[in-house]
Amino acid sequence: MFAPLFLQPSPSFRCQRLSWLLSCLLLWLMALPALAAPEPSHPVSVSVQVEPVRVGVLATRGLPLARQQWQPLMGWLNERVPERRFALVPLELDALAEAVAQSRLDFVITNPGQSVSLARQYPLAWLATLKSPAGGDNLAIGAALVVRAHAPYRHWQDLEGQPVAAVSENAFGGYLAYRFEADEQGVRLERFFSAVRFTGFPLDRLIEQLAADQVAAAIVPVCQLERMVREGKVADSDFRVLDNQAPAGFGCQSSTRLYPNWAFAQTEQASPALALAVTRALFDLPADSETAMAADSAGWTVPTSQLGIDRLLKALDRHPLQGPWWQSAWHWLRQHQQWGWGALALVLLLGGHHLLLQYLFNRSQRRLLATRQQLEEKGRQLEQARRLAELGELGANMAHEINQPLTAIANYSQGALLRLARQGQDPATTASQEPLRQALEQIGLQVQRITQTVNRLRSRLQKRPRQAEPTDLVALVEGLQPLLGQMLAPLGVTFTLRWQGQPRLLPLDGIGVEQLLINLIKNGAESAARTGGPAAQRAEPGRVELLACFEAALLILEIRDNGPGLRMPEALLQQAFHSDKEGGMGLGLAICRDVVECHRGQLALSNLSPHGCLARVTLPAPQQRLEVASDFNPRS
């Protein structure tokens, strides 16, 4: 049933076949001229501009010597890889790293230290390692500690405190290799030597500074000294290498262990096919060729492990993959969060415990200090009480012993007055004996005052309360005038008495107030008369002034002087046995304070401006009019 469909084509199929035939005919017509054209007699050359292959090399001895050393290798590569042209780019340490970072090089030739640093930061593939001419060993990089031949140094320990030179703190074949050896022995070069001077490239500067005695030693790459000797730049007899540990037959002296030789690396700019061709050309380089000898090598070999270099850079904290310690700690915490939280909790717990212990310690320390101060105060009080007890016992004995002589003095004065009274009938005799009678009366009054003072001292020692009686303060002060006059006359001090307010009877301990006034006035007079004070320097006469103020409910007594003022704290002066006077017992102000406290008053001492002292006594004084007030005549 399907046979008709295959035997009779449709009209559309016939159209498609006709179109296909026409297309073939057209193509045939277009190909005829080409087939009929004659072959050219000479081939046509096409010139294609190819970018040069840039090979960067570390110029440790300067750019001219780098070109002289490595340009023959570029010629060898041009010969072995004819389809490409190789261009040498000599660069110093930092410039070479920058060129790799900016992708301006196709291949790199550098020392092992920089090779590891670059390989850990940029996509480099190491193709070959340079072989040493001494036996073909590829371990040929290290440091030599060179000194002058006549120098007294025999080992590196002899150079302590001396200046040395090195090319750079980042130079592997030199300073870093020697620093690693020193660190292995626990020595920090920057502290061991007095100074490390970095001269920079080229390396020849190191030997030149050493030859000029600018430094005691130079840290140079291995074979640098021997290379300069071969070039005729220095004499072999002028220099020595300390602590040589190079293997036998190496051909150079080394003060450190050796590391892999220079390496040839491919950057990401070079294709794998080109890298393979370059690698084959390097391995085919004969060891005795001029190209190999120009590079001071025996050709190239397979790449050598750089594990030793990694360890050295890590030990010196110079490895490019080493980050700050906090980055490592943060990475560890992110991987071990449970330990991190536990450590944080432990730190907080220990910190809180430390703060608690510190608080308890400080509190205990404050308590101990307070207790110590209390003990010291108690000790002072105990000593004060002991001295007061001794003084009380002495006072009691003196009071007992003084009582009998006072009684005898009183009897003699009274007897003398009686005899004068019997003889007083004669007017002429009475007039001549009047001064004597007055003197005897004053003796009797002073004996009476002494007796009252002794009785008051007994009352104080026996802790008996003192009785306050209505006292005429005006009469009390008037009675003290003769005694004050005799006391102040030898000192050359004038005394002034002033009153304010209306006098009245006051409930006072009369004997105590007498002692209070006498002690304060005497202290002020002695201060005003003290030699060397401001008053003496101005030739100003000493003076003491007493101001008594009767206020509504207070009695205020102010004693002023023009002496030098207080020379000790007020609180200390009011304690017993403390005095600012030579030979003073320190009892006067203590007695004054006792009298004031007995009256429930206040005693204050202060300095006056520009000089002088003010003793202010404030006593409570309830209202009680004085009956003889009309006879009072205040003085100024």
Q: Which fold, 53-135+262-307?
A: D-Maltodextrin-Binding Protein; domain 2 (3.40.190)
pLDDT-based confidence at residue 532 (cuts at 50, 70, 90):
very low
pLDDT value, residue 628: 43
Asked if pLDDT for residue 603 goes beyond 80, the answer is yes
**What are the two backbone dihedrals, phi and then psi, of residue 229, each rounded to the nearest 5 degrees?**
-65, -45
Tokens of residue 122, six digits = 């940029």
Q: Which residue is listed with tokens 């209202």? A: 623
Better-scored residue on pLDDT, 282 or 202? 282
pLDDT-based confidence at residue 38 (cuts at 50, 70, 90):
very low
The model's pTM is 0.42
| Widest distance between CA atoms in the chain | 204
pLDDT value, residue 535: 43
pLDDT-based confidence at residue 571 (cuts at 50, 70, 90):
low
Asked if pLDDT for residue 536 goes beyond 50, the answer is no
Distance of CA 82 to the CA centre of its chain: 69
What mean pLDDT is reported for the chain?
78
Q: Which range, of 136-140, 417-421, 557-561, averages the lowest pLDDT?
A: 136-140
What percentage of the chain has pLDDT greater than the value 90? 19
Mean pLDDT of 179-208: 86
Mention every residue, 6+ apart, whose C-beta is less than 8 A from residue 120.
Answer: 319, 320, 321
pLDDT value, residue 20: 53
pLDDT-based confidence at residue 415 (cuts at 50, 70, 90):
confident
pLDDT value, residue 41: 43
Mean pLDDT of 221-248: 87
**What are the two backbone dihedrals, phi and then psi, of residue 108, each rounded to the nearest 5 degrees?**
-135, 135
- Equal fold, 53-135+262-307 vs 143-257: yes
- Which spans in 56-203 are helix H? 63-80, 93-101, 112-119, 177-184, 189-192
For the stretch 318-371, pLDDT in tens is 766 666 666 666 667 777 788 878 888 999 999 999 999 999 999 999 999 998
β 217-221/53-58 pair status: unpaired
pLDDT value, residue 581: 64
Mean pLDDT of 490-495: 87
Asked if pLDDT for residue 43 goes beyond 50, the answer is no
pLDDT value, residue 55: 94
Alpha-carbon span 612 to 566, nearest angstrom: 8
pLDDT value, residue 626: 45
Q: Which residue is listed with tokens 């397979």? A: 302
Which residue ranges make up each domain of the chain? 53-135+262-307, 143-257, 338-439, 467-631
For the stretch 46-63, pLDDT in tens is 444 578 999 999 988 888
pLDDT-based confidence at residue 580 (cuts at 50, 70, 90):
low
Alpha-carbon span 451 to 460, nearest angstrom: 14
Instruction: Kindly report each contact of residues 90-98 with a partner whose C-beta sits within 8 Å and lies 24 or more positions away, as own/partner.
Output: 90/56, 90/57, 90/58, 90/59, 90/63, 90/66, 91/56, 91/57, 91/58, 91/59, 92/58, 92/59, 92/201, 93/58, 93/168, 93/170, 93/171, 93/201, 96/56, 96/57, 96/58
Mention every residue, 6+ apart, whose C-beta is less than 8 A from residue 306.
Answer: 112, 115, 116, 119, 260
pLDDT value, residue 37: 46
For residue 241, the tally of other CB atoms under 10 A from its CB is 21
Alpha-carbon span 580 to 600, nearest angstrom: 27
pLDDT-based confidence at residue 2 (cuts at 50, 70, 90):
very low
For residue 59, the tally of other CB atoms under 10 A from its CB is 22
pLDDT value, residue 486: 81
Top-level class of domain 467-631: alpha beta
Asked if pLDDT for residue 592 goes beyond 70, the answer is yes
Better-scored residue on pLDDT, 603 or 17? 603
Mean pLDDT of 110-121: 82
Is there a contact between 550 and 503 (Cβ–Cβ < 8 Å)? yes
For the stretch 306-320, pLDDT in tens is 777 778 887 777 766
Please provide the CATH number assigned to the domain covering 143-257. Answer: 3.40.190.10
Asked if pLDDT for residue 441 goes beyond 70, the answer is yes
Asked if pLDDT for residue 575 goes beyond 60, the answer is yes
Mean pLDDT of 393-404: 65
